[in-house]
Each structure stands twice: as C-alpha cells, then as structure tokens.
C-alpha cells in the first residue's frame, strides 16, 4: 500500500463516528431536532463515562494480577488439627509483626473462649457419667458445678456471636465469615485499646466471670476423681489445641494480655478455604523487602473438603504439608482411620498429582513435642504400626516416618524434585519462626533458579 493510500485510510478511520470515544459534538443526522441532539450527546457522554470506568477497572485488575504474579503464593495442606493455622500465625509473626500486635485483643477473647470450652468439657463430661463412682462425684461436686455455670452463659454468647456449633469440640467458624472483625466490634473501648486496664462489662466479655471462677476451675481440673473420669473416657485435654487449663491463674487475671505463645496456641478452626494476604512490614530474609506480598491459602482439613483444594494448585510456589506425628490417634470425623496413615495417604495423593509436578513440596513433621510426651508415657509405636521394629524413642520414630514420606515422594513424583522436610513443634514460636525464614528463603531461591537469575 502506498503512503498516500495509508494516509487516506488513517484519516478515514479517525473520522469514523465511535459512540465510546472522541468528542461528543460531532454533527448529527440531517433534520435532527434540538431534543434529539441533546439526547444523543448525553448518550455519548454516558457511553464514554462507562468506557472509562471499564478501562479503569481493567487497569486495576491488571495491576492486581501483576501483584499476585510477583507475590509468593503458598498452600497449607494437612488434615484437621495438623497445625496449619498455627504455622500461619508464625508467618504473620515473622513478616507482619505490627499487624499481629494489633490483633492481641481479638486473640485474648479466643484464649478466654478456649479456656471456657475446656472448663465446659470438664463440666459436661463429669456430669454425664452414670456409673456409681460418678454418682458420688456429682454429689461431691454439685456446688462446684453450680458456681461454674455462669461460664456456660458466656460460651453460649460466643457461640451466638460467631455462629459456632455448640456441639463441636473445637471453636469452628466458616471461612470468609469475618470472625476477627466480628470480635473486634465486641471488644471493650478503653485508653489502652482494650488490652488491659479498665474493661467494660459487655455481653461478650467474660473477664470478670473468669477471674471469679479461677479457683473453681483449678479445683475441678486438679481433682483426682475428675481425672479418673477423664482417663476412663480416654480424654486427654492437654493434647488438644487451645489447652490453657495449666495457665488458669495467669489467663483469668483481669489485666491479662496474651503472649505470642498464647496466640500461637489459641485454637479456632476454620471450615473451608480461606486465603490470607500479607504485606511484609520489613525485609527479614532473602528476596523480601518492605511491601513484599504473600498469598497463603489455609485449606480446611476435613476429609470432605479435600476436593476444594484443586483450584488452588495451579499457580502456587510451594505446598506446605503438615503431618502431625500422632501415630496413636484416629481422625475425629472417622475413628477407624489412624491420623498418621491418613497423612501418608494424602501425601501420596499430592505427590502423584499432575498439577503439582513442578511445585515445591515442603513437609512438616509436626507436633514433635506431643510425640515425645506420648513415648515418655510408655505408649508403644509397634502397637499401632506393626511394621515398626526400632527403639521406642523420638529420634528413631521420627526417622521411620520421615523415611516413609521420603519414599513416596521419590517413587510418586512425576518430575525429580528435592525432598524438603522439617521436624517442628508449631507452638515453639522461636524454632518455628526460624523454619519459616528457611522455607521462605528456599522458595525465593527456587524461583530465582527457575527464572535463571542464579
């Protein structure tokens, strides 16, 4: 095409009427009335306004997608009570400590609710017995139970506020329910932001009742008859997440402020998939500077929710897989299934998944502190795992299960990839934070290597 022809084409394109762009005062059709002209120009202006809004929305969407592309994306996987939420809190502690501190008031309420929930369990478990021993126990403790009954009122209040199933063992909230905002709106307002000092007595604030009930809770928990009933029913509250019965004197104080360890130990179970977005408040490690972004999906751990994990697989940098070393426990939702065997089955499924062939898999053999206590109490691994023949101590037991995970990783992975594992106790904040930094650095190095930057 000649330059002259191209120029003519350019001119003709520029003069074509486009209702979405260009000036609004272009000549209208012949014999156009004043009313028609006004309406036409208004419609043109409206169309341009809509077009600009669409362009701005597309530009903003592009920016969001670009930010997400550059962010570190992780998926937390594991069965219920494997420690996913606890690990997530440790990530917050490392990369967003200021925001973490701002949420202390909310976590104070959760710690209090955990204590109330445990006290309620003591109350209900012992009150439900019908044996001769429990009959005398009820007579002996009737007055004690009566004095603790106001705590049940606060448990009901929390259940209503957070829409919690009162029959559930854990405090369960639905993903996306905004439970932190809900609790924040129920916190007392005072000069020290509700973290101590003067508390306003409102419906959702159990501080005064807990303070008044402290001695009764301690008496009930320490009572030999109560402990006998718990043993008879094979209930070990101290192995549950959110256990604060050994901290009653401290947690029930009026000016109680939760420590970092308390917040990490606090238990609230999320049902469903919830994505958390963090913006690093400072540079803590390789490749991270202030403003670096993280997207971490915390997936509900129940067996029925596992099909919902698939959409979160396509663009993650790493999957953090938590396997609690609970060789002697079964799943709450299916008592026939051993928890560790369930973790191995889930690990096999992840290793052989085609969508994850190029994804980094990082294994956390978690709750090693509970493993040590379990073995020290005389529980034999061989009773639950017949293939185990090594000494009944933590180092050998941990190595045995680590080797099993490693074997499946090697055999089932579709592409060669390094086996990365850590032995953790997620409530050990200092140790776990060191692991968090190491995990972050390994992801950054892997991304650099894949981008041929190192």
* Cβ atoms of 441 and 362 closer than 8 Å: no
Residue 84 annotated in ligand binding: yes
The token duo for 435 is 């692991």
Q: For residue 366, say whether it is annotated as part of any ligand binding site.
A: yes
Question: Is residue 394 part of an annotated ligand binding site?
Answer: no
Burial grade of 293 (CB within 10 A; 0-12, 13-18, 19 or more): middle
Residue 175, marked binder: no
Q: Is 358 annotated as ligand-binding?
A: no
Q: Is 28 annotated as a binding residue?
A: no
Which tokens belong to 193?
């932001």
Task: List the Cα angle 282/285/286 in 5-degree steps.
Answer: 120
Residue 319, φ and ψ in degrees, nearest 5: -110, 125
What is the four-CA torsion angle of 225, 227, 228, 232, rounded to 10 degrees?
140
Is 73 a known ligand-binding residue? no
The answer to whether 426 is annotated as binding is yes
Per-residue burial over 29-58, b = 16 or more CB atoms within 10 Å of its CB, e = otherwise: eeeeeeeeeeebeeebeeebeeeeeeeeee
170: left (phi over 0), alpha (psi -120 to 50) or beta: beta
Q: Is 81 annotated as a binding residue?
A: yes
Q: Is 360 annotated as a binding residue?
A: no
> Helix crossing, 132-162 with 104-127: angle to 10°?
150
Report the binding-site residues for GTP. Answer: 81-86, 366-369, 426
Report the binding-site residues. Answer: 81-86, 270, 366-369, 426
């Amino acid at each position: 095409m000649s330059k002259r022809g191209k120029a003519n084409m350019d001119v003709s394109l520029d003069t074509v009427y486009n209702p979405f762009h260009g000036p609004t005062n272009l000549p209208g059709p012949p014999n156009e009335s004043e009313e028609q002209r006004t309406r036409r120009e208004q419609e043109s202006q409206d169309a341009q306004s809509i077009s600009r809004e669409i362009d701005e929305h597309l530009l903003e969407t592009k920016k969001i997608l670009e930010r997400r592309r550059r962010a570190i994306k992780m998926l937390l996987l594991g069965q219920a009570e494997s420690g996913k939420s606890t690990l997530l809190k440790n990530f917050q502690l490392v990369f967003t400590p200021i925001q973490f501190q701002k949420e202390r008031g909310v976590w104070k309420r959760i710690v209090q609710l955990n204590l109330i929930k445990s006290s309620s369990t003591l109350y209900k478990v012992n009150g439900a017995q019908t044996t001769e021993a429990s009959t005398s126990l009820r007579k002996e403790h009737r007055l004690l139970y009566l004095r603790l009954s106001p705590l049940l009122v606060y448990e009901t209040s929390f259940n209503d506020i957070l829409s919690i199933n009162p029959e559930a063992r854990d405090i369960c909230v639905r993903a996306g329910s905004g439970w932190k905002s809900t609790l924040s709106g129920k916190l007392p307002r005072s000069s020290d932001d509700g973290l101590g000092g003067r508390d306003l007595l409102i419906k959702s604030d159990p501080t005064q009742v807990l303070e008044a009930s402290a001695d009764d809770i301690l008496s009930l928990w320490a009572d030999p008859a109560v402990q006998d009933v718990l043993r008879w029913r094979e209930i070990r509250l101290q192995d549950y997440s959110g256990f604060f019965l050994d901290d009653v004197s401290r947690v029930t104080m009026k000016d109680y402020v939760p420590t970092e360890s308390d917040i990490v130990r606090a238990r609230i179970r999320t049902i469903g998939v919830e994505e958390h977005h963090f913006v690093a408040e400072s540079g803590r490690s390789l490749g991270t500077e202030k403003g670096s972004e993280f997207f971490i999906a915390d997936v509900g751990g129940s067996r029925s929710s596992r099909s919902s994990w698939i959409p979160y697989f396509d663009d993650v940098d790493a999957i953090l897989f938590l396997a609690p070393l609970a060789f002697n426990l079964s799943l709450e939702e299916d008592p026939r299934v051993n928890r560790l065997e369930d973790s191995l089955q889930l690990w096999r499924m992840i290793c052989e998944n085609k969508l994850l062939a190029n994804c980094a898999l990082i294994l956390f053999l978690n709750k090693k502190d509970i493993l040590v206590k379990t073995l020290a109490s005389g529980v034999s691994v061989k009773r639950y795992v017949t293939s185990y023949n090594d000494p009944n101590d933590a180092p050998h037991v941990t190595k045995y299960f680590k080797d099993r995970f490693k074997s499946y990783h090697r055999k089932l992975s579709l592409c060669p990839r390094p086996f990365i594992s850590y032995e953790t106790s997620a409530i050990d904040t200092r140790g776990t934070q060191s692991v968090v930094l190491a995990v972050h650095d390994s992801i950054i190095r892997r991304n650099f290597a894949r981008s041929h930057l190192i």
